[in-house]
Amino acid sequence: MKRVIAVISTVAALASLPAPALAAAPELRTVSLPFLWPTARLYDVTADGAGGVWVGGVQGKYCLRWGDLCPVYNDGNPVVRRRVGSAWKEYPINGWAGQGEIARIASGAGETWIAGGPSASGSSSTYMARFDGSAFQQVAAPAKYVTTLVTGAAGTFASAWDLDSGNGLFKRTGDTWTAVNVPGVDYVADLQALTASDAWAVGYKDGLQQVPAVAHFDGAAWKSVPLPAVTENDWFRKVVPVAANDVWGITAKRLAHWNGTAWTYIAAAAGFPDLGDLTVDSSGTPWVVAEASAPPEEPPYRYSGGKWEAVTIPAGTDVHDLAAVAGGIWGVGTQGDGPAAFNGS
């Protein structure tokens, strides 16, 4: 009887212990935005290095349709806002002329740059500017059309092209741009660095089809890095280095990881459309979103514990760009017919 009582007492004691906490499901919630003229869109969100974010887009854009045509339209006006604490702050965009949108924001190592122009979110930017702490000051682009803009520990870079010189990668050196050759990468879609001597460039190599391509900078030279073979047309879009032996990237079809020795591919979540953006949170977990124009609309996903987890977002919303800050994730996209910003973890 004593043994039975002891067992019952033990079971009762165990039952009274609190259940182990379950990991919180990933979730993003909408954040209030400043007034923007309709129709407005946000295309890019970037961490500002101080706990906040920059967002870029357009406002006042419209099209009066006649059948399939758009005889009366307005390309709108550029939008750049910075989240400082719980408020949004606006800064002058000097040198901007005419209509258009801010499609690209790059911030890192104390530098912030923007690029935009008419319909820039769907093609190339013709305007570039650098933030001087109180306003954006226009800077001449290295070529007429800018398609990639990044800044960080290794410097400020832009992929740009024109009809005369073709496409190239350029690095900001003083007040000028210097052409950079990246072996094995014909087009650089992204370039991110841990330090000035540990940087990664990703994009594609041309041939019978475009194939993913990666190169690494060791402080002295860029060197092509081998990748697993792919059979279909594909290319790298984003890269996020976390440590020398922990680098994440995405192609249109795959998540990719560098472990210090080799790159491996991880299939996207089943049924997920082309990947559009990637960020890595403070725990080292990668988050992805679909390309903005890729149907069907899908929520963001994160890759945790060797499996994909869908991120909960409010009904009627869509997220198409991400940025990680200390302790959380920011996103931009749409809510109904309007722009939306998101925050969560």
Show the low-confidence residues of the chain (pLDDT under 70). Answer: 1-23, 294-295
DSSP-derived 3-state class of residue 173: strand
Q: Can you give the pLDDT at residue 3? A: 36
The predicted pLDDT at position 17 comes to: 44
Q: Which residues of 243-281 are buried (b: 16+ CB within 10 A; e: fewer)?
A: eeeebbbbbbbbbbbbeeeebebeebbeebbebbbbbbb
Strand partners, 331: 322, 342
The backbone torsions φ and ψ at residue 229, rounded to the nearest 5 degrees and listed phi first, read: -70, 145
The predicted pLDDT at position 20 comes to 42
Instruction: Output the pLDDT for position 23.
Output: 54
Strands (DSSP E) contained in 4-68 are 28-31, 41-47, 53-59, 62-66
CA 304 to chain centre: 19
Concatenate the DSSP letters of all residues of 138-152 into one string.
E---SSSEEEEEEEE
Sort strands 69-74 and 62-66 into parallel, antiparallel or unpaired.
antiparallel
**Rg of the chain in Å (alpha carbons):** 23
What pTM was estimated for this model as a whole? 0.91
